[in-house]
A and B are shown apart, each in its own frame.
Chain A
Amino acid sequence: MPLGPVYGAMLAALYLPIAVLFIFSFNAGTSLSFPLVGFTLDWYEAVLGNGPMLDAARNSLIVGMASASVATTIGCLVAVAVLRFRFRGRGLLLAMAGLPLVVPFVVMGVAFFLLFVAIDVPRSLLTVTVGHSVIAIPYATLILLARLSGLDPALEDASMDLGASYPTTLRRIVLPLMAPTLLSAWLTCFIVSFDEIALAIFLVGGDPTFPVFLYGQLRFAQRLPVLIAMAVLLMIGTVVLTLIALRLRTDDP
């Protein structure tokens, strides 16, 4: 059976809606419908003058970087603990680091909402960061587990035979060898957070992240072209980051 054309058709179907968005971001009319009116860069120019939108993008950047840092740190600790130690609770630790992946976001959203009500913490970018760190932990853990399991423990034993303490061994031997994978895990977590909306809707205060801002603006048809121009710019950014993250992982020996 000729599967090449099937793959080609699927690829076309996947790219078509994105291509349509891309085309409309250069269309001179405000209504998002064919026929196209004319070519313009006005929407991209308008992006620069749209303060609230740029603020929302900056908020997403901050939340993404902070939550990715927390999730990658925790994922790294879990990977080392699970693969380099035998202890009671090892299975529990691994299960807990993976479970956020199987809880629907609407349930996690309710859970965090009630937590921050109960401990009386107003919702803000900080609460979104905490939420995103938890849902990103499984991704970081899985990526780092895969890499660390391919790393010969004899390297660490050799380092310790030569007199290094275990923390020194981790810092001088394990971390440098894991560096590309750590960056890849960090980028993956960043993208998970940057794109996340279902949980963020429950957790943002007055300062929206970009997806939440976009979601709120979708009702206003005349604002759509600017939003699409901005979304296209961010899309290029996340696609580049994803490609880098994939590349870093496949480059591992």
Chain B
Amino acid sequence: MLGRGGTLKVFAGLPLAWLAAFFVLPLLLIGAFSLRGGAGALGPAEPWAVSFEQYAEALDTPAFMRLLGVSVLMAVGIAGLATLLAYPIAYFLAFRAGARAPLFLTLLLVPFAVSYLLRVMAWKLMLGPEGGINSLLATLGLTDDPLELLLYSRPAVIITLVYVWIPFATLPIYAAMQRVDRSHLEAAADLGAGPWARFWRVTVPLSVPGALATFFMVFIPTVGEYVTPTLVGGADGIMYGNIIQGFFTRSANWPLGSAMAMIMLALTLVVVAIALRVIDLRRVTP
């Protein structure tokens, strides 16, 4: 470590300065704006009256709280579905694909490299009243009238987001399964365990940390979504993030929007704390 002292100042100092200025400070500013009284596009030059009225309004408006609940439930459902669907895929890659696993994994990841917006748009086209599914059904003579329910609904948001996340969701589970010591499986077989017993009593417990990691890594970006709900959810499919975004665009109300963003941030940090706890616990007690 001799002669490295000056280097450290740059190597630790520069990233810390950048992140303090452009990550920590902006988040603190939300906190500051959320504690202001008043409404509208209140710039920093307008009078600052310290008040908790924004939090009172955000927490007392049933429509906001209901939407927060719905968003959390949707994120739980989407993360749960993505994890469940990704699990057999990861199992296939880790235990059945053999030497071709890298190729199969790459094939799975290519759709994830396709623009997020493009994939959402693809589903918009697929689900629309004149979209792929409906016009295909009509062309095949299976339906007379388009299925109206497909687009602009909560299910449309759920289908689209599960689709968007599946390739990514496979990765943590696959990584956990790759670490499963094959000799454990052999030992279980030697002791008379059949394929199902080996799966349930060896593979599943050892891959749970990966599945949990997947769940949380999908949950966190999903709970704050507002772009996908706008595109495929319509008026019935909006999420909590849509209201926050609305307060900074159409109906400008920065203090209230800030308070709602703080609530979302607090909720996310609680979830992250739980995630770190749960996943670490599993690692120390295998």
Chain A: residues with CB nearer than 8 A to chain B? 3-4, 6-7, 10-11, 13-18, 20-21, 24, 31-35, 70, 74, 77-78, 80-81, 84-87, 89-90, 92-93, 96-97, 99-100, 102-115, 117-118, 130-131, 133-134, 137, 160, 165-167, 170, 191, 194-195, 197-198, 201-202, 211, 214-215, 218, 228, 231, 234-235, 238-239, 241-243, 246, 250
Contact = CB atoms under 8 A, between A and B. Distances in A.
Interface of B: 1-4, 7-8, 10-12, 14-16, 18-20, 22-27, 29-30, 33, 43-44, 85, 88-89, 91-93, 96-97, 102, 104, 106-119, 121-126, 128, 130-132, 135-136, 138-139, 163, 166-167, 220-221, 223-227, 231, 241, 244-245, 248, 254, 257-258, 261, 264-265, 268-269, 272
Given A32-B130, A97-B19, A115-B22, 13 more contacts: A21-B122, A34-B138, A74-B18, A78-B15, A92-B16, A93-B16, A96-B20, A106-B261, A107-B268, A114-B30, A137-B15, A198-B227, A215-B227
B114 A239 contact: yes
Contact of B11 (A35, A80, A243): A80
A88 to B, nearest CB: 10
Contacts of A100: 23
A20 B88 contact: no
A202 B248 contact: yes
Contacts of A24: 125
13 contacts: A3-B96, A6-B92, A10-B85, A10-B89, A17-B123, A80-B11, A87-B8, A93-B16, A96-B23, A100-B23, A106-B224, A195-B116, A214-B118
A104 B241 contact: yes
A115 B25 contact: yes
Given A21-B121, A107-B30, A114 B254 contact: yes
Nearest to B275: A102
A74 B223 CA distance: 28
Q: Is the interface of B mostly helix, strand, loop or mixed?
A: helix
Q: Is the interface of A mostly helix, strand, loop or mixed?
A: helix
A126 B111 CA distance: 29
A20 B115 contact: no
A234 B241 contact: no
Contacts of A239: 110, 113-114
Nearest to A141: B15
Contacts of B2: 160
A111 B128 CA distance: 34
A17 B122 contact: yes
A181 B259 CA distance: 40
Contacts of A80: 11
A61 to B, nearest CB: 14
Name the residue in B85, B122, B126 with the highest tally of chain A Cβ atoms < 10 Å from its Cβ.
Answer: B122
A85 B12 CA distance: 9
Contact of B15 (A32, A85, A97, A131): A97
B29 A114 contact: yes
Contacts of B12: 77-78, 81, 85, 87, 89-90, 93
Contacts of B128: 32
A218 B109 CA distance: 26
Contacts of B220: 102, 104
A18 to B, nearest CB: 6
Contacts of B29: 111, 114-115, 118
A238 B115 contact: yes
Contacts of A13: 163
A26 to B, nearest CB: 14
Contacts of A35: 135, 139
A31 B132 CA distance: 11
Nearest to B22: A134
Contacts of A115: 22, 25-26, 29
A156 to B, nearest CB: 9
Nearest to B12: A81
B224 A85 contact: no
Name the residue in A11, A110, A201 with the highest tally of chain B Cβ atoms < 10 Å from its Cβ.
Answer: A110
B16 A201 contact: no
A191 B113 contact: yes
A195 B115 contact: yes
A117 B81 CA distance: 39
A111 B25 CA distance: 8
Contacts of A6: 88-89, 92
A89 B268 contact: no
B258 A197 contact: no
A181 to B, nearest CB: 17
A230 to B, nearest CB: 10
A104 B75 CA distance: 12
A226 to B, nearest CB: 13
B224 to A, nearest CB: 2
Given A74-B15, A235-B115, A20 B132 contact: yes
